[in-house]
Structure 1
């Protein structure tokens, strides 16, 4: 099915952020690059070796506990955990984050057909906002309404319901596009149609 056929009868589409609108690894790998450069400048460490290690560890095991693994491998003082965490929140990336090509086309079609576009994202609000500011939106940013679940201190299902209420929509007039079982569960709680992001990018 063509992606746009999925929303032919919808009035609003609600997206998550990372791995839905853009590849999350594109943000994280640039953060790791900046951290490795920082260590080379401040501690005369080998930035290329550190980045290679972090990239490989990330690709094999994900981002969990990555600082501690890197610190152990390269004898990095644990005080730099603060800098590592701060970079996740405030990094000025060397390269803009690019939307998935198919999602860019999809968003443009939604705008042309005057459908409402929402982003409801979990995670540290400062970090999520930093990502949003560094995405190349191609002029689409003016059509987005963003909600930070952690800042609102509400479950996604409640935010979804508020979006429906505030826009006089029924559940079958909206679609949630997510990337994991948590998003699917939160949508199901209020009977919102849900699709895994990968289905759109086929």
Structure 2
């Protein structure tokens, strides 16, 4: 469905970041690449083998305990976990993160129609900020207001409610665009209209 039809009668649209505006794997795989390069430099282990293992593990099993699995596979000292975690927070990516084409067009249309755009994102605040800084926004960054749920230590529903209150809006004047059950549940807690990002296309 044309994304703007969802937002035509809304004044605010709220987005999550990962797998809504861009694929989270585009960030993670670059972090894994940088980690593999670091290990090759320090330990003289083949970076191609390491990134190949990490990519396959991520694609088959997800990111859970990927450091532990990689450390076991390549006999890495557990102290490298700190380097791995720091890379998630401050990595300088080789390539900019690119918005999904449908979401880029949707955001551009929202700006043209003078709708307010908010991002309410979960996860490590430093990591999420690093993603935002390294995303190619095509000039849209000046129209974004961002809230980090973990930094505020608040459930998303409470942040959504605060956005409504501060903008003097009713539930029907806001749309939440997410990618998972948590986003949907948090929206429903305060009766906000919700759609998954995959429903939006041009």
TM-score range, shorter chain: over 0.9
| Pair 1:180-2:180 in alignment | yes
Gaps of 5+ in 2: none
> Equivalent residue for 1:47?
47
Counterpart secondary structure, 2:146: strand
> Equivalent residue for 1:139?
139
Counterpart CA distance in 2 for 1:28 and 1:198 is 21
CA RMSD of aligned residues (A): 0.7
Counterpart secondary structure, 1:120: strand
Deviation at 1:201, TM superposition (A): 3.8
TM-score (norm 2): 0.99
> Equivalent residue for 2:59?
59
> Equivalent residue for 1:4?
4
Counterpart CA distance in 2 for 1:77 and 1:44 is 14
Q: Runs (4+) of structure 1 moved beyond 3 Å?
A: none
TM-score (norm 1): 0.99
Counterpart CA distance in 2 for 1:22 and 1:2 is 18
Judge conservation of contact 2:2–2:201 (CA < 8 Å) in 1.
no
Counterpart CA distance in 2 for 1:31 and 1:173 is 38
How does 1:73-112 map onto structure 2 within 5 Å? 73-112=73-112
| Pair 1:189-2:189 in alignment | yes
Q: How many residues align?
A: 202
> Equivalent residue for 2:152?
152
Counterpart secondary structure, 1:172: helix
